[in-house]
Amino acid sequence: MKKSANPRILTINGGSSSIKFAQFEAGDVLDRILEGEIDRIGAPEARLRVTGLDSMDTFSQPVTAPDHTVAVGILMDWIEARGGPDGLTAVGHRVVHGGPSYWQPQRITAELLAELHRISPLDPAHLPGEILLAEAFHRRLPDLPQVACFDTAFHHDMPRVAQQLPIPRRYEAQGVRRYGFHGLSYAFLMEEMARVAGTQAAQDRVILAHLGNGASLAAVREGKSVDTSMGFTPVAGVPMSTRSGDLDPGLMAYLASSEKMNAQQFNEMVNTKSGLLGMSETSSDMRDLLERETQDVRAAEAVALFCYQIRKWIGAFAAALGGLDTLVFAGGIGENAPLVRARICAELGFLGIELDPLRNAKNAALISPDDGRVSVRVIHTDEALMIARSVAHVLNLGPHRKHQP
């Protein structure tokens, strides 16, 4: 592919079983050229899917990707086949955790990678894979600038009372506190809300519910994070696809005694074998569970617990905010599961939350009545755009403040 006259930015979002990517051209606006993913990494059904502006960049094909190392090699081969460094100006990576020292988007350096290696125990489910991706790009394209975009940035200035953990104070000096995550998504949702509902709405009391494979909520006032459900790691808060959410800390001691479970096994259980998967014993996918719930009590109970816990967090955050003006649903479940949204909101009328059934069924942008006390919205989140915008800002690549959603 011939080198573009405008800078081109590749965004990378590595998950536990997928690598999502998108490419943007930084002209007068940030234009999305293509997006895709390698999904089901580690499974026989792994595929590379790409959707682009022309037929050459739109395809789906099976790949052999037993792990992330092989998967990133497949992605790099495809990138080089499209033009390699001549087709790219920079790469931006979503990095879930930067510990206490890193939260602002910045160039990836040897020093930064060394620190990420050091703090990997903070997030063993994400950081090792994210480091692997950055190092793989550096090996293949050593002159290509890379930028780390941290998912904790949105919550960095939460009130101290929301950051602290009630454990001995000496651990705080080691960086043990509540960080919060899904920050790239939340930053986009707040900007998009200001665009569609007005600046004042974005300054009011807002609860954001990012409900996908990972799920969390954030309480926002005057555009700033007041509290969030995830804490020291992304496993905290509400139940998720395979993560447990909050648990009684005594459970670890009990399982260590009753099953001789060690810390690594416990961490694997709460990250990869719990949540919807652990409760249902069949699937981590909400779509599967909704289909099965009338025949399978385990599926029904998994869905019920998910909705119940989110409803509790909404109530708690309304208390933290002193009331509520807007509730926003986002993420794969939040944007596409009307039944889940309805069940979450069903008993929240005392907060002024009411849904319009027809709007909710259609996944409309506004799913509450026009005269509802609380506006309930569905907003499609866009972490890739936020990464691209951060890369453009850090590297000064064009008019990055403008964008097309």
CATH of the domain at 40: 3.30.420.40
Q: Strands, DSSP E only, in 30-154?
A: 30-39, 47-52, 59-62, 90-95, 106-107, 146-150
Q: In the prediction, which pLDDT does 68 show?
A: 86
- pLDDT the model gives residue 4: 60
Note whether residue 342 is domain-resident: yes
Sign of CA dihedral 145, 116, 151, 67: positive
Nearest to 365 by CA among 401, 405, 397, 398: 405
Average pLDDT per 10 consecutive residues for the chain, totaling 405 residues: 74 88 91 93 90 83 91 89 76 95 96 94 86 92 95 97 97 94 97 97 98 96 98 96 97 98 95 96 96 98 98 98 98 97 97 98 98 97 96 83 43
Strand order in the sheet with 375-378: 224-228, 215-221, 205-211, 326-330, 375-378
Overall domain count for the chain? 2
Choosing from 54, 77, 143, 151, the catalytic residue is 151
> Has residue 388 been placed in a domain?
no
The answer on 199 and 71 residing in a single domain is: no
Same domain, 124 and 204: no
Encoding tokens for residue 134? 């950055």
Q: Is 151 noted as a catalytic residue in this protein?
A: yes
Same domain for 200 and 145: no
> Among residues 150, 165, 181, which one ends one of the domains?
150
Domain range spanning residue 330?
Answer: 191-378
Are residues 39 and 125 part of one domain?
A: yes
The verdict on residue 391 lying in a domain is no
Residues present in the chain in total:
405
Is 165 a domain residue? no
With both helix axes pointing from N to C terminus, report the angle between 297-321 and 338-345 in degrees, rounded to the nearest 10.
60
Upper half-sphere CA count for residue 117 (Cβ side, 13 Å): 11
* Whether residue 36 is found in the same domain as residue 125: yes
Same domain, 202 and 319: yes
204 shares its domain with 351: yes
Report the alpha-carbon distance of residue 300 to residue 305 in Å, rounded.
9
User: Where among 93, 121, 150 does a domain terminate?
Assistant: 150
Mark whether 141 and 212 lie in a shared domain: no
pLDDT at 256: 98
Q: With respect to residue 402, please indicate whether it lies within any of the assigned structural domains.
A: no
Tell me, yes or no, whether 212 and 80 share the same domain.
Answer: no
Are 277 and 144 found together in one domain?
no
> Between vectors from CA 270 to CA 159 and to CA 321, what angle results, nearest 5°?
25
Q: Indicate whether 35 belongs to any domain.
A: yes
* pLDDT confidence of residue 404: 43
Residues 198 and 124 in one domain: no
178 lies in some domain: no
Same-domain check for residues 259 and 131 = no
Coarse DSSP helix, strand, coil percentages of the chain, rounded to the nearest 5 percent? 45, 20, 40
In a domain, 185, yes or no: no
